[in-house]
Amino acid sequence: MSLFLDAWNYLTDGANWGGGAGIDHRLLQHIWYSLLAVALSAVVAVPVGLVIGHTRRGSALLVGFANAMRALPTLGLLTFLVLLLGLGIIPPLLALVTVGIPPLLAGAYAGIANVPADVVDASRAMGMTERQILLRVEVPNAVPVMLGGLRSATLQVVATATIAAYVNMGGLGRYIFDGIGLYRYDLVLVGALLVAALALVLDGVLAAAVWISAPGTGRLTRTSVESTATSVVTE
């Protein structure tokens, strides 16, 4: 019980907020690392997932690639990247990208692949090109699933971003690694609680985004088809 009390006292002590080593600064650092990693993962994973989901080609290769990336030991990969590239933000970012790519890739592919075939066929019958079908029909219908992939990737990256402190970077992982080194397990608990709280907040925000993107069963699909048909007739 004293461990939790010590952690609570640390969190509520105003002296631990503000400054370069303050809780707020390390929280912002953690969010920044996570956003960078998720953004880089999306740049790589989403276009590949969209293309494979639309063409239905290479799905077996995609599954194998995603499973291989999930199997990579993140801390071991980070150590290898540091030996290869040196210290700095690049090694932890690359290690976090391997965590973020699989759920984003799976979300983009599954979202496009699960668009009803009759919707796609109707779009082709209206004379739409493959690019128009992908961007105007499939992507709008796939948004809820794609956001689900983003939600999963964000949570995994936020939880794993503590490894940045392993190579002398900032973030909430500093409390965990510094606490272990100093035998201050209340600091370890502080870091764990802050990471968990951040993950819960982001999960709530992204869960709301998923809910908003699909307000009712079939409603988004009907809206997308109707708007697409209207735009094609107008053009």
Query: What is the tally of structural domains in the chain?
Result: 1
Please state, in angstroms and as integers, the Cα–Cα distance from residue 70 to each residue in 60, 91, 160, 180, following that order: 16, 17, 13, 27
Confidence at residue 64, expressed as pLDDT on a 0 to 100 scale: 82
Q: In whole angstroms, what is the distance from residue 21 CA to residue 110 CA? A: 42
Confidence at residue 69, expressed as pLDDT on a 0 to 100 scale: 82
Q: In whole angstroms, what is the distance from residue 235 CA to residue 226 CA? A: 14
C-alpha Rg value of the chain to the nearest Å: 22
Q: What percent of the chain has pLDDT over 90?
A: 40
Q: Where are the alpha helices (DSSP H) in the chain?
A: 2-12, 23-55, 59-71, 74-85, 90-113, 117-125, 130-132, 139-160, 173-182, 185-213, 219-234
What number of residues does the chain have? 235
Q: In whole angstroms, what is the distance from residue 79 CA to residue 95 CA? A: 9
Please report which confidence band the pLDDT of residue 1 belongs to, taking 50, 70 and 90 as the band edges: low
Domain containing 147 — which CATH number? 1.10.3720.10
Q: Are 215 and 109 in contact (CB under 8 A)?
A: no
Please report which confidence band the pLDDT of residue 161 belongs to, taking 50, 70 and 90 as the band edges: very high
What residues contact 141, with CB distance under 8 A and at least 6 apart? 111, 115, 116, 119, 220, 221, 224
Residues 48-89 have pLDDT tens digits of: 999 988 888 887 887 788 878 888 888 888 888 888 888 888
Please state, in angstroms and as integers, the Cα–Cα distance from residue 218 to each residue in 39, 42, 142, 211, 224, following that order: 29, 26, 12, 13, 10
Confidence at residue 60, expressed as pLDDT on a 0 to 100 scale: 80
Supply the mean pLDDT for the chain.
85
Q: Can you give the residue range of the structural domain that contains 21?
A: 2-234
Higher pLDDT, 220 or 194: 194
Token pair for residue 157? 């990256």
Please report which confidence band the pLDDT of residue 95 belongs to, taking 50, 70 and 90 as the band edges: very high
Residues 5-15 have pLDDT tens digits of: 988 988 988 88
pTM value is 0.84
Q: Are 231 and 224 in contact (CB under 8 A)?
A: no
